[in-house]
Chain A
Amino acid sequence: MDYAVRQQGLSADRRPLTKRIADASAPYLYSAPALILIVTVMLVPLVLGVSYAFRDVQLLNPFSGAFIGLDHFRALSQDEAFFRSLRNTLWWTGASVLLQFAFGLILALLLDKPFRGRAIAQALVFLPWAVPSFLAGLNWAWLFNPVVGPLPHWLYALGIMSQPANILSDPELAMWGPIVANIWWGIPFFAITLLAALQAIPRDLYEAASIDGAGAFQRFLSITLPFLAPTIAITILLRTVWISNFADLIIVMTNGGPADRTQIVASYIFTQAFKRLDFGYASAIALVLLALLLAYSLLIVILRQWLLSKD
């Protein structure tokens, strides 16, 4: 019978050979331009960058380029600034992601209810998402600047600050500047994603629950949260990776200062490449960052497998 089916299949395929080749190659032709671009502009530089990590590559020194083994990594293990940037990255990423998520979730819940003017309210609260990140950074840097910005004066009037000073130049507080800007800029992303997930929850579930006498908070715990959980998990995972690499706001607002207190790993890599023009050392740090991110993603995947197998 198997043979008969194959016979039939063969006799059905009466297309000439050239046409069959054309049909088989069609998906490759459609995806080739995009693939070629990705490979040449992202994959090739990635491999090259990995090789730089083991070479002495300095832009302004034409005699550099020699293979130097693990020298960069030895220097890195002694580099205080690198370890400080690692700690700053944890702080920057943790605070930004958690607060963006918390405020984004509240906003999504608020927008999930129908009310008059919802469309316009939604457009207005999502607007920060469209603001270019360099402009968001500059904008907040100006707001924190006591010369033109109101924030230091308000904090002073509230008694939180002893004098209207710029928190961006205070080593203890400087990191809060980029974090606040990041929260402002990132709330819409979480709100949009969570709102879409909320709107996919079947409405009759809520009706059935309230007929059974469940209160609003109970409905949230037993219907909303379980439905949102997969979206929350994947959004937080992706956002954590993305924000830990997001150096724009820091480079614009503080440039890593004062005294490296706001330097994260990503901005440290950029500073090494852009200011010091030491491409070899920058690539070595980048390689360490990549390894850490891979380890983090792997950990999440393993954790997920473990949780799934436990159920």
Chain B
Amino acid sequence: MRAKSAFLTVAHRLAILAYIAFALFPLFWLLKVAVTPNDLLYSEGIRLWPSRASLEHFDFVLRHSAFPVFFRNSLIVSGSTAVVVTILASLSGYALSRFRFRGKYWLVTLMLLTQMFPLVMLVAPIFKILSPLGLTNSLTGLVIVYSAFNVPFATFLMQSFFDGIPKDLEEAAMIDGATQFVAFRQIILPLTLPGIAATLGFVFTAAWSELLFSLMLISGNEQATFPVGLLSFVSKFSVDFGQMMAAGVLALIPACLFFLLIQRYLVQGLTAGAVKG
């Protein structure tokens, strides 16, 4: 009996290790090629770690390529989208959590449907609408589009956080003479700070990763976001593997930072989103 349970424990730990290895290996390889000097890249192709590591690719990418611009553009777009969406979603999530009103059912249905239908359908019409407004090839245009795409999910996420806060709190404040909006801003919002952080993180990561619409809407190098820049780099200089992977490692940093921040809320947050949308 004891031998059997020891065997099960070992099998369990080995299985976990196998999952960790599978999850991390591609990222490890990205880093490995990024630090391999060019003269060793082919001769030591499948060694797990090069005999000599260097940061020359990072140096090149940061100093002699357009990647710092792409990085800045992506940071502006993802940051602005995260802030805009979180503000809008706190308001609408609060409405869904605290009020019963005519049309609420339709609002929820509309938001659920936007989560279901293929966004790739909108690539052409959105281009046609934004083009005469001068919003193609512009970071503002991307922020508007990404904000709309992310508001429904963020609304459900914020709603689930508001639902966890007892109603009595703002009722007490309103008896003391505060309007509901003041109660919302001064009492409820500070209590949902973890929820706000999680929403910011989710939306930032989603906007940082978006590919199709930025490919379609952005054409010049000055406005390119990271995915567009990296893909055009890949098709132009497809032999500079070290530099491409160094750029890839840099693109990974903000996403991983946000992931570590929101990691604790992940199980809670994704479930709220997954059950409803």
A residues in contact (CB < 8 Å) with B:
26-28, 30-31, 33-35, 37-38, 40-46, 48-49, 52, 57, 59, 106-107, 110-111, 113, 115, 121, 123-136, 138-140, 142-143, 147-150, 153-154, 184, 187-189, 192-193, 195-197, 199, 231, 234-235, 238, 241, 245, 247-248, 251-252, 266, 269-270, 273-274, 279, 282-283, 286-287, 289-290, 293, 297
Contacts and interface: CB of A to CB of B under 8 A. Distances in A.
Nearest to A268: B120
B267 A195 contact: yes
Interface in B159-174: none
B244 A138 contact: yes
Contacts of B226: 132
B175 interface: no
A124 B256 CA distance: 11
Pairs of residues from A and B, 8 with the lowest C-beta to C-beta distance, nearest first: A41-B148, A130-B259, A132-B209, A30-B95, A27-B99, A45-B125, A279-B124, A34-B92
11 contacts: A30-B94, A41-B149, A44-B129, A110-B12, A128-B23, A128-B27, A132-B252, A135-B209, A193-B274, A247-B212, A274-B215
A150 B46 contact: yes
Given A127-B24, A184-B23, A266-B120, 7 more contacts: A115-B13, A132-B252, A139-B30, A150-B45, A193-B274, A195-B267, A290-B121
B29 interface: yes
Interface in B200-248: 205, 208-209, 211-212, 215-216, 226-227, 230-231, 234, 241, 244-245, 248
B57 to A, nearest CB: 12
A234 B92 contact: no
B83 interface: no
Contact of B116 (A125, A153, A293): A293
B96 interface: yes
B18 to A, nearest CB: 10
B26 to A, nearest CB: 5
A130 B148 contact: no
B29 A143 contact: yes
A253 to B, nearest CB: 11
Contacts of A107: 19
A38 B19 contact: no
B231 A252 contact: yes
A182 to B, nearest CB: 13
Contact of A127 (B23, B92, B212, B275): B23
B72 interface: no
B120 A286 contact: yes
A31 B95 contact: yes
A65 to B, nearest CB: 10
A283 B120 CA distance: 10
A171 B9 CA distance: 43
B46 A293 contact: no
Contacts of A59: 127
A283 B123 CA distance: 9
Interface string B143-167: 0110111011001000000000000
A216 to B, nearest CB: 9
A16 B268 CA distance: 42
Contacts of A34: 88-89, 91-92, 151-152, 155
Interface stretch (B61-69, B103-111, B190-198): B103-111
A123 B263 contact: yes
Given A38-B148, A134-B227, A297-B116, A142 B33 contact: yes
A279 B244 CA distance: 32
Contacts of A241: 116
Contacts of A127: 23-24, 27, 256, 259
